[in-house]
Structure formats: structure tokens, C-alpha cells
Amino acid sequence: MPNDGLQIEPIAGALGAEVSDVDLRSLDTELVGQIRAAFVDHQVLVFRDQELTPDDQVAFGRHFGELDTHPFVEMNDEHPEVLDIVTEPEDRVGANFGGGWHTDLTFMTEPDLGSILYAIEVPPAGGDTLFASQLAAYDSLSDTMKSMLDGLVATHSPDRQYGMAGQSKTSKAMVTKDGVDASSETEHPVVRTHPESGRKGLYVNPAFTEKIRGMRRDESAALLSFLYEKGSHEAFTCRVKWQPGTLTMWDNRSVQHFALHDYAGHRRHMRRITVKGDRPV
Ligand code: SIN
């Protein structure tokens, strides 16, 4: 496949684009720059028909920064930057990795900038991933709501997912590391300014956000519930249908995502790497 410049076709109104005519194994600086710009602009980029070994995927990811490992989930034995996300045919529906709206790793002080997911084995139907633009969700709010949110800070914790009673402990789809403390909390602004585009977006998610600082628990729960509804409204979403060889990269600074489990009885195997990010402001 020759690399003669990028062909970029949006897949939905608010975010997401499919990029064609590019072989991710042979990129020059010019193309990497174009992909990076398209990534910030479209927030989710989909590349079809790629033939990537784990090393190829790692090399591609390194064009965008240093790669991370997952603090709670076992990484691939031979490739420490690679996380295999496998759902087996017998796995309970809804217990899949990423099976709910979330932004990756917001419980960290410096959450990852983006994730790069490659499809190895997909079910005959279903198994799509939904993405939602938190920039578009923020833009849709009234000026009064925006100014109320702008100074707010929320706590985030891995505990509900990865703590002793967390969802991942009951899920066969994730092999969690033993003895890692998941009780930590970190704080992030409720509205984040994207470090590259300068656009503002919502930065709370139902998987890891615990509470808005300075509010009573019922007040915080009501506001968060409103923001989660906005942040996953269909108007701000796009949907990626996978085929073996599809690679999708998404900007964790501006999107939430949801891995649908609507393929009980079938296997799905994806390979993920993540790129380190900075402290949200
Ligand atoms: C994830 O949350 O990173 C997993 C997404 C997917 O498997 O589609």
C-alpha cells in the first residue's frame, strides 16, 4: 500500500474519521505530523486493513510519545507495552473490558493521552466500540452551565473497577495484578482544556469519577448524572465497526468510549497500547 498523503473521511457529525491509503508500518515525519493533526481534530481515527505485529503496533504508538503500561491489568508477557483484551465465548455479557462509558485511566495524576487498539479476532456480528466527543458535549451547554462547571474539580479513583470488590475481580475478561492498591484518589478539573487544540471538554466519567469537590454527595451525584448523560448523547457519538486488521486510535483528552458486548458465544481479541499523557488543566 503506497503512502501518498492521507485520505480522511468523517464517519459521524461530531467526531471520528476513517483514514485510508496508509500503511502504518512505513510512515515518514510528514505523515506522522498529518496523522497527529487529524487525531486532535477528529478525536478518533480508524485505519483499515493493517497488518501489524505487536512490534509494529508499538513502533506506530511511539510516534506519538512514550508508551505506558496498565497499573492493574496484566500486560502481554513478551511485549510489556501491549495489553491483550480478550472476551471469550462463555464470558458474562457486560463483564468485558471497557464495557461501559469511560475515559482510560483518569484515576492517574497524568492519564494517558490516547489509546491505540488493533483488532485481531472479531465476532461475526457486534462488538463495535462507541466513542463520544466531550468537546461537543461541553459546547452544547449554556454559558451559565459552562461558567458554573469551569472552576469545579472532581475526584477519580480506580477502586470501583480494580479494588478488592471492583468489577474486574468478578470478570474473567481481565487478569488483574495481585496486591496492587486501588484505593488511591486523584483530582482533575471537571472541564479540561485540550493541550493541543485549546478546546474545552467535559472530563468526568462514570467508571472512575467519584465526586465533585465541595459538593454534598447528593448534589454531586445529580450533577455528574447530568454530565454523563450529556457526555454520551447520541448527537456527540460515533461508532467503530471492527474487522481483523482495523486499528483505531482515540484521544483520551477529548473522548469517552464504550466497548459493546452484544456478541455472547463468540470470541473477540483486541491488542491495545496507550501513550503517556500530561496532567489535565
Ligand atoms: C477499551 O476500553 O480500551 C476497550 C475498547 C474495546 O475493546 O473496544
Which of 42, 102, 156, 188 is catalytic? The answer is 102
Q: Which residues of the chain have pLDDT under 50?
A: 2, 170, 172
Residue 102's pLDDT is 96
Is 280 a domain residue?
Answer: no
Query: Please, what's the b/e burial string for 191-213 (b: 16 or more CB within 10 A of its CB; e: otherwise)?
Result: bbebeebebbbbbbbbbbbbbbe
To the query of whether residue 104 is one of the catalytic residues in this protein, the response is yes
Query: Containing domain of residue 20, as a range?
Result: 7-275
Ligand 1, atom 3, lies closest to the CA of 98
**DSSP state letter for 107:** T
Contact 8, 40 (CB under 8 A): no
**Is 132 domain-assigned?**
yes
Q: Which residues of 221-260 are buried (b: 16+ CB within 10 A; e: fewer)?
A: eebbeebbebbbeeebbbebebeeebbbbbbbbbbbbbbb
pLDDT at 171: 52
Amino acid at 28: D
Query: Residue 135: inside a domain, yes or no?
Result: yes
Query: Atom 4 (ligand 1): residue with closest C-alpha?
Result: 98
Predicted local confidence at residue 214, as pLDDT: 97
Catalytic residue flag (residue 42): no
The verdict on the CB of residue 118 being under 6 Å from ligand 1 is: no
Residue 170 belongs to a domain: yes
Of 84, 91, 104, 112, the catalytic one is 104
Element (H, E) at 186: strand 186-189
pLDDT at 175: 57
* pLDDT score of 51: 97
Q: pLDDT at position 227, please?
A: 98
The separation between the first and the last C-alpha atoms of the chain, rounded to the nearest angstrom, is 40
Q: Is residue 2 part of a domain?
A: no
Q: pLDDT value at position 72?
A: 87
Contact yes or no for 102/257 (Cβ under 8 A): yes
Between CA 274 and CA 276 the distance in angstroms is 7
Exposed (0-12), middle (13-18) or buried (19+): which is 279, by Cβ within 10 Å?
exposed
Q: Is residue 226 part of a domain?
A: yes
pTM: 0.94
- Number of domains the chain contains: 1
| Atom 6 (ligand 1) nearest CA | 259
Residue 1 in domain:
no
- pLDDT for the residue 168: 58
Report the CATH number at residue 100: 3.60.130.10
pLDDT of residue 241: 98
- From the candidates 188, 257, 261, 271, which is the catalytic residue? 257
257 is catalytic: yes
What pLDDT does 183 receive? 72
